[in-house]
Amino acid sequence: MHPARARLIHDRPQTQGPVLYWMHREMRAADNWALLHARELADQRRQPLAVAFCLAREYPLAALPHFAFLLHGLRHTAQELEALGVPFILLRGEPGQAVAQYARDARIGLLVTDADPAKPKRAWLADLLSRLQCPAMEVDSRNVAPARRVSDKAEYMARTIRPKIQRLLPEFLDPFPALQRQSLPWPGPAPATDWDVLLATFGPPPAHFPPGEAAARQRLDAFLRQGLPRYADERNTPVSPASSGLSPYLHFGQLSAQRAALAAMAANAAPQAREAFLEQLIVRRELAENFCLHTPHYDTVEAFPAWARQTLARHRADARPFLASEAQLDAAATPDPLWNAAQRQLLATGHMHGWLRMYWAKQILFWSPDAETALARVLRLNDTLSLDGRDVNGYAGAAWSIGGVHDRPWPERPVFGTVRSMTFSGAARKFDVRAFVSRWSGPEPA
């Protein structure tokens, strides 16, 4: 692993003892730099390695389908690890406290964990480090180019971060080694998990997205065959999309973005199709990571650029054509048939086409009394209903849609001011709106 992916986050005296990888963002056994680095460090120390995951009592806005998707996939990961002689330890409770307690009980000598700028994960990590007695390292396995290496500030937009990422790709876009079998035994018994009982608590996984590493690779392979060749021209067509459908697997760490990038680069597709996909997979995703990493208030209007806050304030009193209630949004009962169809797609599948998600969010701004209310609504609906919610991509997308983050001023319009708007007529010029509405049809309001 490239050493720039890792950083020491807890400087404590070196002691003998096993190595523990606290897995909380990259839930996979394959193509996982943090796991590979933990294994390498364990070998250097001549100590065994175990993987721990803590099932938190709650996670903001996460719903049962999210936990079901996570845990059904995690069971397969645990089986893969245990087949390689690496114990998988499922803990429960407040993650910082539970992981620190297990580290003490098992006399862990070194802890390795995932990098994640999300507020709940930052709080877990701070709690852990306040209790931890051994050194700890953090590894960036999410991004092809490690976020802290790319930039030490919040980038203005894609064009400012793109060259910084592209300069680093030859250095970091390297193939993954295989995780080798571990021969050293774990000292003492590892806590057993009754997976059948646990999974019954959360119910079946989402029907439209089978969970787990194997399912993620199957979805990637299908996209490379069927979607990637059409991607450059048809990715923004919700009726017959060429989009990858990988976002739930990327969000839950069941697939490595670097693995997807390497596979796309080797795929049989036109160069412009590969370039368009890699722009979304690498540049746009890593721009979102940069936004949340360097913007602690990423989920509030304070994250909006000054020009957007000013223009939204000037248009705060503008008349809205329709003021939606929370119940109308939840039930897909607005006057806009396209918005309703997109919301029904989200309700039915846990996923919404990417272009529609931008339109969907901007209409919520149009129908809300102010930007603060609109942003809170977008985040609540996205994080509660979407399998890829509670993700840096979602926070950056909401901030782009409502507050012009990573965008520029546009011609002034009511309500939006100079924040970019998206309209039903504009959608009708891009794709067959009637076909999409028909597919996700339901009773429209009178």
CB neighbourhood size of 199 (10 A): 17
Q: Got the DSSP string for 340-393?
A: HHHHHHHHHHS---HHHHHHHHHHHHHTSSSHHHHHHHHHHHHHHH-TT-SSHH
CATH number, position 66: 3.40.50.620
- pLDDT, tens only, 203-234: 999 999 999 999 999 999 999 999 999 999 98
Using pLDDT thresholds of 50, 70 and 90, give the confidence band for residue 442. Answer: low
Average pLDDT over residues 190-215: 94
- Is there a single domain that holds both residue 170 and residue 114? no
In a domain, 193, yes or no: no
- pLDDT, tens only, 305-332: 999 999 999 999 999 999 999 999 999 9
- Angle between the N-to-C axes of helices 95-105 and 119-131, in degrees from 0 to 180, rounded to the nearest 10: 30
In a domain, 281, yes or no: yes
- Is there a single domain that holds both residue 335 and residue 280? no
CB 227 within 8 A of CB 330: no
The predicted structure's pLDDT at residue 184: 95
Average pLDDT over residues 144-165: 98
As a whole number of angstroms, the distance between CA 301 and CA 374 comes to 10
- Is there a single domain that holds both residue 146 and residue 135? no
- Is there a single domain that holds both residue 53 and residue 79? yes
Mean pLDDT of the chain: 96
- pLDDT, tens only, 389-400: 999 999 999 999
Residue 445 predicted with pLDDT over 60: no
The predicted structure's pLDDT at residue 294: 98
Residue 33 predicted with pLDDT over 90: yes
- Is there a single domain that holds both residue 407 and residue 344? yes
Grouping H, G, I as helix, E, B as strand and the rest as coil, residue 142 is coil
Residue 105 predicted with pLDDT over 80: yes
- pLDDT, tens only, 339-387: 999 999 999 999 999 999 999 999 999 999 999 999 999 999 999 999 9
Residue 432 predicted with pLDDT over 60: yes
- pLDDT, tens only, 245-291: 999 999 999 999 999 999 999 999 999 999 999 999 999 999 999 99
As a whole number of angstroms, the distance between CA 342 and CA 361 comes to 11
**What percent of the chain has pLDDT above 90?**
93
Within 13 A of 220's CA, how many CA atoms are on the CB side? 27
- Is there a single domain that holds both residue 84 and residue 15? yes
> What is the domain range of residue 275?
142-175+213-294
CATH number, position 287: 1.25.40.80
In a domain, 207, yes or no: no
- Is there a single domain that holds both residue 278 and residue 146? yes
pTM: 0.96
**What percent of the chain has pLDDT above 70?**
99
Among 116, 141, 166, give the residue marking a domain's end: 141
In a domain, 82, yes or no: yes
CATH number, position 336: 1.10.579.10
The predicted structure's pLDDT at residue 446: 36
The total of structural domains in the chain comes to 3
Among 294, 317, 339, give the residue marking a domain's end: 294
The predicted structure's pLDDT at residue 59: 85
Instruction: Please name the residues in contact with 159: beta carbons below 8 A apart, sequence gap of 6 or more.
Output: none
The predicted structure's pLDDT at residue 189: 87
The predicted structure's pLDDT at residue 441: 82
- Is there a single domain that holds both residue 393 and residue 363? yes
- Is there a single domain that holds both residue 418 and residue 307? yes
Torsion angle of the four alpha carbons 281, 286, 288, 289, in this order, in degrees rounded to the nearest 10: 130
As a whole number of angstroms, the distance between CA 426 and CA 362 comes to 13
In a domain, 338, yes or no: yes
As a whole number of angstroms, the distance between CA 117 and CA 348 comes to 30
End-to-end CA distance of the chain: 60
- Is there a single domain that holds both residue 253 and residue 377? no
In a domain, 444, yes or no: no
- Is there a single domain that holds both residue 276 and residue 402? no
In a domain, 415, yes or no: yes
Using pLDDT thresholds of 50, 70 and 90, give the confidence band for residue 58. Answer: confident
- Is there a single domain that holds both residue 257 and residue 382? no
Among 294, 318, 352, give the residue marking a domain's end: 294
For residue 160, report the phi and psi dihedrals to the nearest 5 degrees. -85, -30
In a domain, 184, yes or no: no
